[in-house]
Each structure stands twice: as structure tokens, then as C-alpha cells.
Structure 1
């Protein structure tokens, strides 16, 4: 078990994040958890769901829990109604992320787990430049590049690009960017997942991986030369392979992770394989961050129909990775 607590952020207070957080203490009583949420929002949501949630309050400087959950009160900034997002809560949602990230950076937390946010609410109410958790945490940690990877059981899918319009993806697939992405993926598979020689399956960008240049030259001009150079440096890389044939069981069992070139190339397959139980993991940060595989689901907030499977899986994975990392740091 991890020695330090794990921070769990509530996400958008009008979404299902508070519903999911209300279910965590009973489901994971042995883990040390700090729930970052508005106390009134969390209490109201627990009451609406018929859950008892007697959470001791906590703040930095107080003793951290050895097991069980405590609450770090983070004001929402406005009255919250389940299912009705309000830009007035955007600053409060962003402040929760800042508190959790800073606590990971200063060693207070062993990891952070994030419930879903609504990008448009944060953009409208707090930061017009906000594009998502991944990019925000990279900037907060002072990291030039991170890698988004989702897991569902043994299937791991990482992304060469994340929240980009499709028209901008080809220009973002450069030798330098692909090299950084594959290096981060390789290093974190070794360090966080204890895979001594990670085997990575790399997808092509174009249909049929470019068909020898007839369906696009990105494979010939960038992807193939980059993979060849990295293989010479010792990385175990297969590809580029056509995306429509890459996710065959026989091929997947021979690899530890798949690198997709863009968001909707790899994630539909992964979410089909494990939606509701999949976990989003940010690689390349100086701390562990996991998240759910779904959005805010405003229509489900407060109804009792939201499922906590993905948040439970994300929290368990964060705890496992944290314990492994702390074990590596032990003398």
C-alpha cells in the first residue's frame, strides 16, 4: 500500500464527479484518500443518492490519513444544481486541479486521480486557454511534453497527439515529437509498469499506413525513419502498421502498448473494449496521474445511475503505481 494519500478531484461539481466521489470511501476503505470537493456539494449529492458520508475534514499541515477517506473542502464558487453546469464554478474546478497537482509536486500526495471536467465551462468561467487535464497538468509541472495513455485490462493505447483538430494532426507528427512520445512511453512502461523491455506497436497515420506513399507520405517521410533510428537505440518497435488491422488479439499479445497517431484513431477501440472500466493515465509527469475514461454526464448527475467503475479502477491503478514507485525509492 502507498505510504502517502492519493488526491481525488471532484471534477465539474454539476456533473457525476461528486456522485463518484461519494461512492469511493465505502468501496476502497483501506486506501488513504483525500477527496478534493466542495463539502456542501458532496454532502447534498450523497444525500440525494441515499449514501452516508461522514468524512473528517483535512487540510495541508494536518496528519495525512493512513487509510480511509478525508475531505479537503474546496469551494465551488457558486450554488450548484446537479445536471446544470455553470461557468461560475469554473475557477473553483480549476483551483481543485491546482491544489492536487501542487500536492503531488511537493510530496504531500502519492498520486492524483481526476473526475471529469467540462472544458467549455472552465474556458467560459476561468481560463479561455484550457484544453484539458493533460495539457494543464503538463504546464503546471513544467513539463514540455506528456503522453496520454488509456488502459483497459491488458490493453494499453497511447497517443502521439491529443486534443487537436484532425486537420492539424499531420503537421504535428514530426521526428522530434514522435521521438519524445516514444521515449516517454518506453521509459514509463519500464518505470511504472515494471516492463524491462517494452514492446510497442506503432500505428500509421494514413489508411493502410500510407500504401507506400499513395495514400500519404507521413509514414515514408517521418514515421518509418524515426522508428528505424529509435530501434537502433534499443527500443522495441513494430510498425507503422495499418490501424484497421492492428488491434488483432494475436498481434496485441505480442506487444505491451499501442501508439496511435491521434485521439480518435486508438481510443474508440479501447473504450469499446473496456468502457466504464478503462483508465486514463498521463505519462511523462513527475508524479502519477490517472483519470476516468468518460465525461461529466450531466444528465446522470444525482440520479443514482452513474457507475463508479472507471473511477474505482483509476484509483486502484494509481495506488498500485504509487506503491511500486515508492518501493523503487526505498533504500
Structure 2
């Protein structure tokens, strides 16, 4: 069966979101399998590309080849690229909420979120540490337990999930647990099968310490936490390595030994992805009942003001969302 269109949330209207959305539509408008609409203010895009206002997601595919379909959300003040405006916060939040609702109801195949500035949203009641956590809370079943969203970065031939994200290096060892790594490995394994279509995934765990602890000489996290978690996962028929040295594990993955790496820290995982593919990396959220991807960059106020925004990462995020949606449909 044909999939419904993807939905894009507008992100911060003063950032690069409007420009990269328009450029992505120009690049992809002839491919109906990648059809999308954006929830935003039509005036954000009218000077950038041809726009068609739609009243429902069902209208998007019919107009996609000739104009960017825009589903209006709220009222915005006059926007100057590069100059964030706190009064836009309610519309930014509403676009995300509406996009999640559309995917959950089956009106859209997946959500691609344009970048936001969390600090701008806090005054409007935004209470989440990040975009990912907000989307996860919106997907939480009523009365159900909180979901465990997992950040995976793809690019340059790598798939890298993160055990810890935005926290100090000093706090990382105390936050790693066997139970948490077992849950993380289980989610990554399931996503590699369902979202990426890999029948028998092979996962590598990176070490936290240099040389994966060197037998305990450089730290015991590998011995006490990481390797026991790997042993538990293998007992559940998940193909996962013990802790591998962080300076070689990504080369092993590139060579085809592993389908994905679980990195222990934010920079350990993101440095290789961004070095290999700085412009085209994609942020994917695993462990959710909906498909969600995002460009792997922020609001880019300077690029928005200068008119130098590049759409590469958003285009890659749209392609990734469509791939995951197709793979989930085929299950």
C-alpha cells in the first residue's frame, strides 16, 4: 500500500528551517515516494519557493509535485532570519504536537523535525530537556510508563547510538548501569531489524576508557558494567560485542564487521559521524511507536541571516524517515 506523506515541523522560524525546507522540496519534488508537507506559517516559505496551503494531510500528495504543501499553524509576527523571537514559541510547540498527532493517527508516515532552540521555548511552558524527550512524551500511551527514546546518528557509513547524551564527562561513569545498557542494546537491536531491515544485526559496544580499560588498568567500567551487560544481551540472542576500544571500533564498523556501534558518550559517537559526513548526518530516534528523524544540526541563526543554509542534512533525514516507514510497513 502507498504510504501517506511525511510531515515536517517548522522548527524555529528565525533559524534555517524555512530555507532548508524550501530547498529540500525543490530537490525532492519529483519523487512522490518522498512527498511531505510542513506544518508552519505559509509566509515563511513564499519568498523561497512556490507554496500551496492545505487544510489536511490528505491534500499534500496531490499538490506536492507543483508546490510545497503547508498546513498553517498559529499566527506569527514578522520574522527576520537570524533573529529569534520568543513570541513564536507557542506556534513552534504546536507544530511539533500536531506533527506527532498526525503520525500517531496514520495521517502521516513519519515526522521530520526542523531544529528548535529549547531556551526560546521555556518561557512558553516547555519543560523537557530536549526535542527528543518532548516527542517521546507526546508518544507516551495514556497512563503508560515513560518511553525510552534512543538517539542514533547516521552518516558516513556509520550508525551510532548513544548511551549518554548531553551530560558532563565527569558524570558519565556514575550514570552507566548494566540494566540501562541492556535496555539500550535491546532497543537498538529491535530498531536495526524493524527500521533498517537488517535480519541479523551485529552491534558493537564501545569502551568508556582508553583501550577499553586495558584489563582494568585504565578503569573498571568495562569489566563491571559494559561487558556484563553484553553477556546478558547475548544470552537473549542479541549479537553484541564486549567493549571495543573507542579508537578502533568505528573503523571496524566501516569495514562491515558491525552494523551499528553503541558509544558511551556524546562526543565519542558524534565525532566520527560528523568527520565522515559533516553536512549529511541524520539524527534518528529509536524506541518510539512513530518514525522520527531530524537534521543533525541546530537552528543555525548565523546561516539563516546570511542566507547560506545547506539542506543536505534535512534531505537525508527525509530519505531516512521514508526508508524507516517503508521498512516498518513491510514487517
Judge same fold: TM > 0.5, yes or no: yes
Residue 242 of structure 1: which of 228, 241, 245 is its match? 245
Hey, what does 1:316 align to over in structure 2? 319
CA contact (8 A) 1:122 1:130 kept: no
Q: Which runs of 5+ in 1 are unaligned?
A: none
Hey, what does 2:79 align to over in structure 1? 80
Hey, what does 2:61 align to over in structure 1? 65
> Is 171-180 or 208-217 further displaced after alignment?
208-217
How far apart are the structure 1 equivalents of 2:150 and 2:62?
Answer: 31
Q: Which runs of 5+ in 2 are unaligned?
A: 141-145
> Is 236-245 or 257-266 further displaced after alignment?
236-245
Q: Return closer, same or farther for 1:14/1:251 CA change in 2, 3 Å cut-off.
A: closer
How far apart are the structure 2 equivalents of 1:171 and 1:97?
Answer: 33
CA contact (8 A) 1:199 1:237 kept: yes
- For residue 150 of structure 1, give the secondary structure of its aligned residue in structure 2: strand
Cα deviation, residue 164, structure 1: 2.5
- For residue 322 of structure 1, give the secondary structure of its aligned residue in structure 2: helix
Deviation per residue, 1:265-296 (Å, 9 max, x gap): 11011011111111111000001111101111
Q: Return closer, same or farther for 1:63/1:53 CA change in 2, 3 Å cut-off.
A: closer
Hey, what does 2:128 align to over in structure 1? 130
Aligned length: 320
RMSD of aligned C-alpha atoms?
A: 2.0
CA contact (8 A) 1:13 1:76 kept: no
Hey, what does 1:53 align to over in structure 2? 50
Q: Return closer, same or farther for 1:118/1:273 CA change in 2, 3 Å cut-off.
A: same
Hey, what does 1:105 align to over in structure 2? 104
Residues 258-269 of structure 1: matches in 2 within 5 Å? 258-269=261-272
Hey, what does 1:4 align to over in structure 2? 4
Hey, what does 1:222 align to over in structure 2? 225
Cα deviation, residue 89, structure 1: 1.8
How far apart are the structure 1 equivalents of 2:102 and 2:169?
Answer: 35
Q: Return closer, same or farther for 1:66/1:39 CA change in 2, 3 Å cut-off.
A: closer
Cα deviation, residue 222, structure 1: 1.0
Hey, what does 2:90 align to over in structure 1? 91
CA contact (8 A) 2:147 2:288 kept: no
CA contact (8 A) 1:5 1:66 kept: no
CA contact (8 A) 2:42 2:51 kept: no
CA contact (8 A) 2:252 2:258 kept: no
How far apart are the structure 2 equivalents of 1:200 and 1:300?
Answer: 37
Residue 310 of structure 2: which of 307, 311, 326 is its match? 307
How far apart are the structure 2 equivalents of 1:180 and 1:242?
Answer: 22
Hey, what does 2:174 align to over in structure 1? 171
Cα deviation, residue 325, structure 1: 1.9
- For residue 65 of structure 1, give the secondary structure of its aligned residue in structure 2: helix
CA contact (8 A) 1:278 1:310 kept: yes
Deviation per residue, 1:169-227 (Å, 9 max, x gap): 22221111111110000001011111111001110112222222232222111111111
1:193 aligns with 2:199: no
> Is 313-322 or 245-254 further displaced after alignment?
245-254
Residues 12-27 of structure 1: matches in 2 within 5 Å? 12-27=12-27
**Superposition TM-score, scaled by structure 1 size:** 0.90
Hey, what does 1:270 align to over in structure 2? 273
**Superposition TM-score, scaled by structure 2 size:** 0.90
Cα deviation, residue 77, structure 1: 4.2
Cα deviation, residue 4, structure 1: 0.5
Cα deviation, residue 66, structure 1: 5.0
- For residue 200 of structure 1, give the secondary structure of its aligned residue in structure 2: strand
- For residue 248 of structure 2, give the secondary structure of its aligned residue in structure 1: helix
CA contact (8 A) 2:38 2:70 kept: yes
How far apart are the structure 1 equivalents of 2:249 and 2:169?
Answer: 21
Cα deviation, residue 324, structure 1: 2.3
- For residue 61 of structure 2, give the secondary structure of its aligned residue in structure 1: coil
